[in-house]
């Protein structure tokens, strides 16, 4: 009992407080592997909800740093973690996870590591499935799981290795999404239904572009995780890739095939931006390992929400022809300064002018100046056109159906 301890006296208490203050000041530059554990710099359009976060005690940044560094393997794949409780609190508020009217989506947290954000989500009332691929973090997460009553489930799984190409037996942490969702009791819902699952995590830095391609391909195909409905992604991505995902026509450095495909398929919302230094890495040297970028800014990690559109598979877009749309966009945006009419005529000679007039698109427009919705209208018109029905573009799809530059 605290009351049984002898009082150190006023002078003694001042000495203790002074020592604690000095220790805290010395530790502050090391916390989170960053210059200080502080309120995040920027959150867009989000009001932090006053939710209790005292039910589960959060490790402070120094403790989270210790947990990560103790478990780091000699040459681990680079990973980033939220170690600062203030940052975790801001992320939780941005994600809007917790009790709400109606069924609440299941939250899949990818690579939670020390579990700082995990505890914050649990305290908000969310049902969380922690997908962790590093066995070193499993004991602490499983201990937390056992202390709760079904609110947390821990799975040895690497989300970013779900459904690899090929078939056969699968060795964890790689896994088939069908097995994962079946084990979790997650059922498929119609595409037009509400979001059944929210996925939260960091896109692996070295595979960021490849994973974005893989995800957009399976979304248009409605395979893998998207067989279960409009799965919402809430991912930390580099600022450079965020700029590409949200680029506008005319921004020729950043407006690419990924821009058109993701904007056509999803509502994209920036939830939060945070400097790279705000995150902890599993590097033994505590280096930030910031990827270089010369043409686009890349000073932050961006928490981005990507919600598939309810009307994606309407107006002529189907899972049967969506691979044709992907290939068309890749070819059109390969050279963003080339004329669109030249590309159309290469697929069906002398047909481009008529098609563009019907759609009221200028004949001299370049491919890098066409909006995503205009590309979709163009594709749907080509689908109904006799001139384009036998073009080589459609024949090539048969050979390229599974090759989308993973």
Which residues line the annotated binding site for S-adenosyl-L-methionine?
82, 132, 158
What CA–CA distance (Å, rounded) separates 279 from 32?
6
Residue 356: which of 348, 364, 326 has the closest Cα? 364
What CA–CA distance (Å, rounded) separates 61 from 85?
7
Tell me if 153 sits within 8 A of 129, measured CB to CB: yes
Length of the chain: 406
Tell me if 123 sits within 8 A of 52, measured CB to CB: yes
What CA–CA distance (Å, rounded) separates 82 from 150?
24
Give me the helix-helix angle, 352-359 and 372-383, nearest 10°.
Answer: 120
What CA–CA distance (Å, rounded) separates 25 from 14?
16
Work out whether the CA dihedral 334, 336, 341, 342 comes out positive or negative: negative
Largest CA distance in the chain: 95
Residue 198: which of 226, 231, 227, 228 has the closest Cα? 231
What are the structure tokens assigned to 354, written together? 């008529």
List CB contacts of 23: < 8 A, sequence separation 6 or more.
Answer: none
Residue 311: which of 190, 224, 400 has the closest Cα? 190
What CA–CA distance (Å, rounded) separates 112 from 58?
13
Order of all β-strands in the sheet with 197-202: 42-43, 266-275, 300-308, 232-238, 197-202, 106-110, 128-132, 152-156
Residue 236: which of 204, 263, 268, 209 has the closest Cα? 204
In the annotated binding site, the residues are 82, 132, 158
């Amino acid at each position: 009992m605290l009351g049984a301890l002898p009082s150190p006296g006023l002078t003694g208490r001042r000495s203790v407080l002074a020592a604690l203050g000095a220790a805290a000041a010395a530790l502050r530059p090391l916390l989170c592997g960053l210059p200080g554990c502080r309120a995040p710099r920027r959150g867009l359009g989000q009001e932090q909800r006053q939710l209790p976060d005292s039910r589960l005690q959060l490790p402070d940044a120094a403790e989270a740093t210790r947990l990560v560094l103790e478990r780091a393997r000699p040459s681990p794949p680079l990973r980033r973690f939220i170690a600062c409780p203030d940052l975790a609190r801001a992320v939780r508020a941005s994600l809007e996870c917790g009790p709400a009217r109606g069924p609440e989506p299941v939250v899949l947290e990818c690579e939670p590591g020390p579990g700082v954000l995990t505890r914050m989500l649990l305290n908000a009332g969310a049902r969380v499935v922690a997908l962790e691929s590093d066995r070193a973090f499993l004991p602490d997460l499983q201990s937390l799981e056992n202390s709760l009553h079904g609110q947390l489930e821990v799975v040895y799984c690497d989300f970013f290795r779900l459904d690899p190409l090929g078939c056969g037996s699968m060795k964890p942490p790689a896994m088939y999404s069908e097995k994962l969702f079946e084990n979790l009791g997650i059922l498929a819902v119609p595409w037009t239904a509400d979001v059944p699952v929210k996925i939260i995590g960091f896109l692996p830095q070295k595979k960021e572009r490849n994973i974005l391609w893989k995800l957009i391909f399976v979304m248009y195909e409605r395979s893998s995780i998207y067989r279960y409905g409009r799965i919402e992604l809430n991912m930390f991505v580099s600022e450079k890739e965020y700029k590409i995902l949200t680029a506008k026509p005319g921004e020729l450095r950043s407006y690419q095939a990924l821009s058109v495909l993701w904007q056509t398929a999803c509502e994209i919302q920036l939830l939060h931006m945070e400097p790279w230094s705000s995150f902890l890495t599993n590097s033994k040297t505590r280096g930030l390992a910031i990827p270089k970028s010369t043409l686009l800014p890349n000073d932050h990690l961006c928490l981005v929400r990507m919600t598939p559109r309810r009307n994606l598979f309407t107006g002529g877009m189907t899972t049967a022809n969506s691979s044709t749309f992907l290939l068309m966009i890749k070819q059109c945006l390969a050279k963003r300064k080339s004329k669109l009419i030249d590309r159309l005529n290469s697929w069906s000679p002398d047909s481009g002018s008529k098609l563009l007039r019907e759609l009221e698109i200028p004949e001299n427009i370049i491919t890098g100046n066409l909006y995503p919705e205009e590309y979709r209208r163009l594709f749907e018109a080509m689908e109904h056109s006799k001139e384009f029905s036998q073009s080589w573009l459609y024949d090539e799809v048969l050979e390229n159906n599974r090759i989308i530059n993973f």
